[in-house]
Amino acid sequence: MDAKSVTPSAVALILANPTPESPDDVPEIVVQVLDLKPIGSRFTFMASDGEAKVKAILSTHFASEVHSGKLQNLGLVRILNYTCNDIPQKTDKMVIITKCEVVSQALDAEIKSEVKIEEPSVLMKPKEEAAGLSKPIGAAPATIMLKPRHDVKSASQIVSEQRGNAAPAARLAMTRRVHPLISLNPYQGNWVIKVRVTSKGNLRSYRNARGEGHVFNVELTDEDGTQIQATMFNEAAKKFYPVFELGKVYYISKGSLRIANKQFKTVQNDYEMTLNETAVVEEAEGESFIPPVQYNFVKIDMLGPYVGGRELVDIIGVVQSVSPTLSIRRKIDNESIPKRDIVVADDSNKTVTISLWNDLATTVGEELLDMVDSAPIIAVKSLKVSDFQGKLLAPFHKFFSG
DNA sequence: CCCCCCCC
């Protein structure tokens, strides 16, 4: 097979098999990259087989391939695994490419199947390759037409035959296809994600006009660095609170998605996840390439603009002092809440008082008190910054050790 | 369905 050509009917192959079970379920698919452009930290392009095109988005970890110039516009890529983001209301599909490799750097022009056999090598030639390496697309003649479905099925039949020969454990591994978080949407519920718990909230109880209940939030991050907030209520909150541990990696399925309320978003995602009691949460064993908690540290002398704002900051610094635990009586309901203040200094030569509330005051606060003589360095995430009598205060929102 | 983030 010639490495310098697109796969005839590649787009049809993808759309006929929108969510392959595993890379083994993906046939040879080489497409040309057209209209490559950045969207946030990712890149999108039109994947072309010379006849049909489909919108594609690359997982974030391919951004470096684009920046380094390896993956180029007009180049060829082999798609090794993907999932289609199929939103029923929308007619345009998007292929989220989770695994791919560069076959060729930029060709001279867009491949178009209408082009006749006589001249095709001009179109197929990578800029820096000798003409002899190119293969006329005409060599794959009538098959450039859209393939009928039964052709696609025969490919997956081959795969299932291969699976039949695999050991049971290997078969299971192949079946557990992990979906990138970015591919999840409210309209398609049959997914499995593999995510790290990068923030764990408290199990809280609340009472309001709609009633009362318990609620528990986590922030989840996948290997692309995509984050989503997941919320559990009542029985689900009680069930999963002891299951989710900060920093651990889990397979999650049978959750539901809804549009996130912009006003309360703590992560960059249009959706938020709700897990009820029927959700499946299972710790993932072994190695994982999911990045740990990401910080965006702000120097203490740069906190000014954040005072009173909604935007949260992360701080890293040396703990200079730890107060005793105080019991603060909340005015609105007279409830007493444990609180402890720590003073942190960083390399901007400023200090800030950080208040630890509730469990953080008693648990983390106590640990810090024990360590304070050794000037421990801590990283603190998601601080809300306020000002009291000219002193900057950063009450704890969440905590990660450092 | 939460979304509180408290006190000097």
The residues spanned by each domain of chain A are 10-104, 156-283, 300-401
pLDDT of A147 strictly over 60: no
pLDDT of A157 strictly over 60: no
| CB of A207 closer than 8 Å to CB of A229 | no
Identical fold for domains A10-104 and A156-283, yes or no, is yes
pLDDT tier at A144 (50, 70, 90 boundaries)? very low
pLDDT at A342: 93
pLDDT tier at A176 (50, 70, 90 boundaries)? low
Percent of chain A with pLDDT over 90: 42
> Kindly report the CA angle at A37 between A35 and A39, in degrees rounded to 5?
140
Does the CB of A276 sit below 7 A from strand B? yes
Does the CB of A272 sit below 7 A from strand B? yes
pLDDT at A243: 96
Q: Which residue is nearest to nucleotide B8 (CA to C1')?
A: A388
Does the CB of A215 sit below 7 A from strand B? yes
Who wins on pLDDT, A152 or A311?
A311
The CATH class of A156-283 is mainly beta
pLDDT of A174 strictly over 70: no
For the ranges A10-19, A30-39, A235-244, A304-313, which has the lowest average pLDDT? Answer: A304-313
pLDDT at A86: 67
On average, the pLDDT of chain A sits at: 80
Q: Does domain A300-401 have CATH number 2.40.50.140?
A: yes
For the ranges A151-155, A180-184, A292-296, A380-384, which has the lowest average pLDDT? Answer: A151-155
A29 Cβ neighbours under 8 A, 6+ residues apart: A7, A10, A13, A14, A78, A79
Q: How far apart are CA A339 and CA A329, in angstroms?
A: 10
Does the CB of A261 sit below 7 A from strand B? yes
Question: What amino acid occupies position A347?
Answer: D
pLDDT at A90: 63
| pTM metric for this prediction | 0.58
Scanning every strand, the nucleotide with its C1' closest to A276's CA turns out to be B1
Q: How far apart are CA A248 and CA A260, in angstroms?
A: 24
Taking residues A283-292, report their average pLDDT: 83
For the ranges A34-43, A110-119, A174-183, A299-308, which has the lowest average pLDDT? Answer: A110-119
For the ranges A110-119, A161-170, A201-210, which has the lowest average pLDDT? Answer: A161-170
| CB of A83 closer than 8 Å to CB of A57 | no
A90 Cβ neighbours under 8 A, 6+ residues apart: none
pLDDT at A188: 84
For the ranges A67-71, A166-170, A310-314, A321-325, which has the lowest average pLDDT? Answer: A166-170
Does the CB of A262 sit below 7 A from strand B? no
CA proximity to A53, closest of A102, A109, A1, A92: A92
Taking residues A163-186, report their average pLDDT: 64
Which long-range contacts does A109-118 make (Cβ < 8 Å, 24+ apart)? A109/A74, A110/A32, A110/A34, A110/A48, A110/A74, A111/A5, A111/A6, A111/A32, A111/A48, A111/A50, A111/A137, A112/A50, A112/A51, A113/A8, A113/A49, A113/A50, A113/A51, A113/A137, A113/A144
Does the CB of A355 sit below 7 A from strand B? yes
The 3-state DSSP composition of chain A as helix, strand, coil percent (nearest 5) reads: 25, 35, 40
Phi-psi region for residue A334, left (φ > 0), alpha (ψ -120 to 50) or beta? left
Q: How far apart are CA A341 and CA A320, in angstroms?
A: 11
pLDDT tier at A391 (50, 70, 90 boundaries)? confident
Taking residues A242-250, report their average pLDDT: 93
- Distance from CA(A264) to C1'(B3), angstroms, rounded: 6
- Distance from CA(A265) to C1'(B4), angstroms, rounded: 15
Q: How far apart are CA A265 and CA A260, in angstroms?
A: 7
Percent of chain A with pLDDT over 70: 80
For the ranges A140-149, A181-190, A266-275, A278-287, which has the lowest average pLDDT? Answer: A140-149
Three-state secondary structure call for residue A401:
coil
Q: How far apart are CA A133 and CA A121, in angstroms?
A: 9
Scanning every strand, the nucleotide with its C1' closest to A330's CA turns out to be B6
Q: How far apart are CA A131 and CA A27, in angstroms?
A: 27
Does the CB of A326 sit below 7 A from strand B? yes
Q: How far apart are CA A297 and CA A375, in angstroms?
A: 19
The CATH class of A10-104 is mainly beta
Taking residues A219-227, report their average pLDDT: 91
Q: For every residue of A215-282, which 3-state class applies, written as one string?
A: EEEEEEECCCCCEEEEEEEHHHHHHHCCCCCCCCEEEEECCEEEECCHHHCCCCCCEEEECCCCCEEE
Question: What amino acid occupies position A358?
Answer: N
Who wins on pLDDT, A222 or A159?
A222
Token readout for A320 is 């200079």
Scanning every strand, the nucleotide with its C1' closest to A384's CA turns out to be B5
For the ranges A70-84, A156-170, A190-204, A266-280, which has the lowest average pLDDT? Answer: A156-170
Nucleotides of B under 7 A from a protein CB: 1-8
Token readout for A229 is 């907030």
pLDDT of A117 strictly over 50: no
Q: How far apart are CA A240 and CA A250, in angstroms?
A: 12
Does the CB of A271 sit below 7 A from strand B? no
